[in-house]
Structure formats: C-alpha cells, structure tokens
Amino acid sequence: MFALTFLGTSASVPSAERNHPALLVEAAGKRVLVDCGEGTQRQLLRSGSGFRRLDRVLLTHAHLDHVLGIPGLFSTLGLRQSAEVMTIHGGLGTLDSVIRMLAGLWGAGRAPIAVEFVALSEGEVVDAGDFTIGCFPVRHRDSDSFGFTFQSPSRRHLQPDRLAALGVPDGPLRGELAAGRAVVTEGDRKVDPEDVLGPPSGGKKLVVIGDTETTEGLSQYVAGADMLVIEATFLERDAATARDYGHLTAAEAAALAAASNVRQLVLTHLSGRYEDDEILAEAARIFPNTRIAADFDHIVI
C-alpha cells in the first residue's frame, strides 16, 4: 500500500490554509518526498511525520514554489546530525538550479548534509523491492518537468481449497509453491504452482503529476492508476489564463482521469482565487470520484 500525506497544496502563492507544494509518500518502510516547497520542514513536524527515514526527494521541476524548502530542511537535518545521504532526483536543469542554490548558501559541495544528485530520464527511477518508482516527461512552460509513478507488484496467493484437495500440508512445501517451485507430496504426487496459485491481485499504482500545461500524452502513464494526484490551478472559465501560465483546469484534470480508467482523482496545487466547492463541482461533473486535497490530508491506497 501507499500512504500519502499532503504537506502543501497551494499554487504559486501560499495562503493561511495551504502551504507551498510538497507530498510525502510512504511504502514498505520507505519515505519519499515529492517536491519541497518553502516551509516543508515545518509541515513535516505539524503533520506528525517528522524527519526519520527521510532520505529521498523527487522534484517535478525547478520553479521556486517547488524547491525553496530544500535549504531549510537540509539545515535542520544537519543540526540533527543526520547520518543518512539525501538523494535528490530531478531533471538536469532542475538539479543544476538546486545545486547552484545550495552552493550560493554554503559553497560548492558544502551542504550541511551528504547529498547525491541523480538526473531523471524516462523509465524506472528506484527499485525498492516491494515497489518501484518510475518517471515520465511532462510539459510545463520552459522547465524540464517530470511526473512519477509508484507501483507495487501484484502477487498470486495460494488457494487453501486447492492445497487441501491436492494434499499439500502446512509447512515448507507450501512455501516452495508460493515461491513458484513444484513440489512432490506424500504418495509421489507432483504439484505445480499453477495448480494452487490464484490470479494476480493486490498491486497498486499511484501517479503524481506536478505542474503541467497539457494532458496530451499523459494517459499512457496514468492508465489504470488506483490514484492520480495532479494539479488543478484554474477553472474552465479561466482556461485562457491557464494556457498563459502553463497550468490545467479542473475539467482537464478530470477528463484525463476519466479517459485513463483511474479509480480516484485527487486535485492539488490550488489557487486561492477559487472556493474548494467550485473546483470540486467542475471536476466531479466529469469524474465523480474526485476529492480536493488539503494540507495534512492523509490518504492510504
């Protein structure tokens, strides 16, 4: 499963209720931060998430509302004498911006914690065993932007009724079958894994997309997601302004979810010019299973 904690859900300008963009994703004991807007370290504390086991940041792009929280977070981790290496993933241009920002504060290569920078290219980013993280390109103004896919594998489970019918006792033989290896039971009966394994089930897919000026070409990456988290900075009545600033409307985000067989849509990067109910109403007309993210929302899939 994946557990999401929304640490910041505002668009470019924060409000009293919404901080700059940041999302914490937890799975199989790993904790990954997607974007790190200004004030993210305090949001981590306010949410109760804290800093433990936080060693990876995925950056959607280099615009300041998505990266300005990095120096403050690193300063705090340095004061706490964190021994973990922080790995930052981003496009080449994004990493260059972050490296120059950190060098301007502390000097080249002298951040308060150990940092590794890994440039993104389309495909797999991390294989954590119990889940993988992939990335794909996203169009947003002049930035080298990426979206992210978190995927846990589906598994085939042993069927107790078939095991009993074929005389496979509890113990090591069942473990062998679960691992995909044939066994021989008492009476020299050979049992193949296909005889006792059910259909694949349990895999989960989460897709997170930051700022984007279009949904064109994204459906192939979003298809079949259990949850899509994506921006909805404008309403359709301001579509022309959305184009000017390189953002989506709520209707466009909902149309992508509807066309991609998504189970749930979560809208974020929200402008203070609209009420939440307005945004939700526009999206829900197209894709009913939509919710509006708020700071400190915790969602498990």
Integer Cα distance of 140 and 91 in angstroms: 13
Integer Cα distance of 166 and 196 in angstroms: 9
Integer Cα distance of 293 and 5 in angstroms: 10
Residue in this structure with the two tokens 């972050």, named with its chain if needed: 98
Residue in this structure with the two tokens 């090591």, named with its chain if needed: 172
- For 13, counting Cβ atoms within 10 Å of its Cβ (0-12 exposed, 13-18 middle, 19+ buried), the class is exposed
- Helix (H, G, I), strand (E, B), or coil: what is residue 14? coil
Task: Show the tokens assigned to 117.
Answer: 């920078």
Residue 151, strand partner residues: 132, 205
User: Which conformational region is residue 224 in: left (phi greater than 0), alpha (psi within -120 to 50 degrees), or beta?
Assistant: left
Contact 251, 283 (CB under 8 A): yes
Task: Show the tokens assigned to 272.
Answer: 């203070």
Candidate list 35, 55, 65, 295, residue with the active-site label: 65
Contacts 24+ apart (CB under 8 A), 255-259: 255/215, 255/286, 255/287, 256/215, 256/218, 256/219, 256/222, 256/228, 256/230, 257/222, 257/228, 257/230, 257/286, 257/287, 257/290, 258/286, 258/287, 259/219
Instruction: Verify whether residue 65 is a known catalytic residue.
Output: yes
What amino acid is encoded at 181 in this protein?
A: R
Integer Cα distance of 200 and 155 in angstroms: 5
**Do the bridges between strand 145-152 and strand 183-185 make them parallel or antiparallel, or are there none, so unpaired?**
unpaired
| Residues belonging to the active site | 65
